[in-house]
Amino acid sequence: GEDVEQSLFLSVREGDSSVINCTYTDSSSTYLYWYKQEPGAGLQLLTYIFSNMDMKQDQRLTVLLNKKDKHLSLRIADTQTGDSAIYFCAEINGGTSYGKLTFGQGTILTVHP
């Protein structure tokens, strides 16, 4: 079945860039997502990328997709303390399991002042 893996922890200083990495196994993934979970809250969609794209930029966020290596990354420029949260990578195979996302285990980002 599908599998999505992420490193568990990332610690950066305020103002630096953060890069969160994700690998997935389903070569038929149609969309890949980054969700953010703040303490005591549900997940919130940050951004997503179609599988036929290499890169997507949205303000401070840059998503890079290497489809050959099945590797997805999220770069946060000028990281702020408010960016401290858990970040989940997720994928969907629109052809066979519409609506059903597979999530990674989440990366805990800690931003130090």
Question: Which residues here bind another protein, judged by CB under 8 A?
Answer: 30-31, 33, 35, 40-45, 48, 88, 90, 92, 94, 97, 99-101, 103-106
Q: Which is nearer to another protein, 52 or 113 (CB)?
A: 52
Q: Smallest gap, in angstroms, from Cβ of residue 75 to another protein?
A: 21
Classify residue 1 by burial, with Cβ atoms within 10 Å: 0-12, 13-18, 19+: exposed
Q: Cβ 107 to another protein, closest distance in Å?
A: 11
Least gap, CB of 105 to another protein (angstroms): 4
Q: 20 or 79, CB closer to another protein? A: 20
Q: Which is nearer to another protein, 65 or 106 (CB)?
A: 106
DSSP secondary structure of 11-66: EEETTS-EEEEEEE--TT--EEEEEEE-TTS-EEEEEEEETT-SEEEETTEEEEEE
- Rounded to whole angstroms, how far apart are CA atoms 77 and 17? 5
